[in-house]
Chain A
Amino acid sequence: MHKIMKPERPVGIIGYGAYIPAYRLPAEAISKLWREGQDRNHLPIREKSVPGPEEDTITMSVEAAQNALRRARIDPQEIGAVWVGSESHPYAVKPSGTVLAQILGIAPAAVSGDFEFACKAGTEAMQAATAFVGSGMGDYALAVGMDTAQGRPGDALEYTAAAGGAAYIMGPGDEALAVLEGSFSFVTDTPDFFRRAYQKYPEHGNRFTGDLAYFYHIRSSVTYLLEGLQLSPKDFTAAVFHQPNVKFPQKIAAELGFSKAQISAGLLSNRIGNTYAGAAVLGLTNILDQAKPGDRILMASFGSGAGSDALSFVVTDKIESARKVAPGTADYLNRRKNIDYATYARWRKKIVMK
Chain B
Amino acid sequence: MDIPRYWRLREQRYKLQGNVCAECKAYNFPPRPVCLQCKSKNMQPYQFKGNGTIYSYSTVYQAPDAFNKQVPYLVALIDLDEGPRITARLTDILDNKIEIGMPVEMVIRKIYEDGDNGPIQYGYMFRPLLKKKE
Asked if B14 and A55 sit within 8 Å, CB to CB, the answer is: no
Minimum Cβ distance to chain B for residue A40 (Å): 26
Which of B70, B92, B111 has the largest count of A CB atoms less than 10 A from its CB? B92
Asked if B122 and A99 sit within 8 Å, CB to CB, the answer is: yes
Smallest CB gap from A63: residue in B = B107
Task: Using known A-B contacts A59-B110, A62-B108, A337-B94, determine if residue A54 contacts B125 with beta carbons closer than 8 Å.
Answer: yes
Which residues does chain A contribute within 8 Å of B69, judged by CB atoms? 353
In this complex, how many residues of chain A approach chain B with their Cβ under 8 Å: the count is 23
* A155 close to chain B: CB less than 8 A: no
Asked if B14 and A103 sit within 8 Å, CB to CB, the answer is: yes
Smallest CB gap from B116: residue in A = A354
* A331 close to chain B: CB less than 8 A: yes
Interface string of B80-120 (1 = CB under 8 A from A): 00000000010110110000000000011111000000001
Which residues does chain B contribute within 8 Å of A102, judged by CB atoms? 10, 14
Secondary structure call for the A interface: loop
Which residues does chain B contribute within 8 Å of A353, judged by CB atoms? 69
**How distant is the Cα of A63 from the Cα of B94 in the complex, in angstroms?**
18
**How distant is the Cα of A91 from the Cα of B114 in the complex, in angstroms?**
13
* A22 close to chain B: CB less than 8 A: yes
7 residue pairs of the A-B complex, CB under 8 angstroms, read A53-B70, A55-B109, A58-B110, A327-B130, A331-B130, A331-B131, A336-B94
* A37 close to chain B: CB less than 8 A: no
Asked if A103 and B130 sit within 8 Å, CB to CB, the answer is: no
Minimum Cβ distance to chain A for residue B88 (Å): 12
Smallest CB gap from A99: residue in B = B122
Contact with A103, one of B70, B89, B108 (Cβ below 8 angstroms) = B108
Asked if B122 and A55 sit within 8 Å, CB to CB, the answer is: no
Interface string of A330-349 (1 = CB under 8 A from B): 01100111000000000000
